[in-house]
Each structure stands twice: as C-alpha cells, then as structure tokens.
Amino acid sequence: MKTHMFEQQGLGLAPFRCVAIIDSGPGNKKSCDHCGAGIRYAFEVVSRDGKSFNVGSDCALKTDDSGLRATVNRHLNALRRTQRYQRAVKPLLALLAQEDVRTRLAALPNPRGEHGRGNTALDFCTQVANDDRLFERVYKEAVAIARKAAL
C-alpha cells in the first residue's frame, strides 16, 4: 500500500480526518501545511496519532484517503450551505429590521398555527431568519409574508 502523502511529509499517521474549517477571512492569511499555498479556508486535519495541521481544500481532496475526503466534503457542504444562507437571508433580515413591518407581522398569526414556535408571523419569520436548516425549506413563505406586511 502506498504511504499517505501527509504521512510521508511527517504530518502524522493515517488515517486522517477533517474536524473543522477555519475561515481566515479575505486575503489568504493562512497557508497550507502540505503545499505552502496561501489559503482562506483552512481544513483542520487530525491524524490517528493526534497531530493537527491545516491544508487547503485542493490538497485535502487530492489524497487517496476516502475517509478524509468524506469528512472534508461534509465540512465543505456545511460551509456552502451557510454561505448560501447568509446571502439569501439578507432581504428577509432587511424587512425584519423595519419597525412597521415587525409591528404588522406581530399582529398576524403564525402560519404554522399551533404547531409553530411562537404565536405570531413575526415569531415565524424571525425563526426562519435565524435557522439555516429551517430557512432552506420555508424561506419563500417567510419572505412572502414579510413583503406583504411591508406594503
């Protein structure tokens, strides 16, 4: 069996797994411990013997280590979901920042009825705006209600 490229480099013993993504912000402030390239998103990888290091997504995904690639992809998907959410939630947050919209939403019932958390449409819209998983499913409904309240 071929020796893992991270193991060859002395980064620890295989198998490796990704435990977190660290966003260092714009400007590639971190660097990949495998290739030295500047990276914005550092994938924190831990070896079997407990060594921890940071690599970029390219290096993390080009290994033959399917277990590592799976953990990297899981963190990558979560990051992409969060980024989509942060972009998409802006119009709803802008509506919810308007006091008159909030007042009108607070006077409307929660569209989920007694199954919803909280009694009002404001509770519903606020909950949707703050929960990225819920957000993917009911965003259009929440934005429609908030836009109607803004008229």
By CB under 5 A, name the binding residues for Zn ion.
32, 34-35, 37, 56, 59
Residue 131: exposure state from Cβ atoms within 10 A (0-12, 13-18, ≥19):
middle
| CB atoms closer than 10 angstroms to residue 95 | 20
Distances (CA, A) of 58 to 52, 80, 108: 18, 16, 49
Minimum CB separation from Zn ion for residue 37, in Å? 5
CB-nearer residue toward Zn ion: 60 or 105: 60
CB-nearer residue toward Zn ion: 32 or 125: 32
φ and ψ of 15, to 5 deg = -80, 160
CB-nearer residue toward Zn ion: 19 or 35: 35
Minimum CB separation from Zn ion for residue 11, in Å? 11
Minimum CB separation from Zn ion for residue 31, in Å? 8
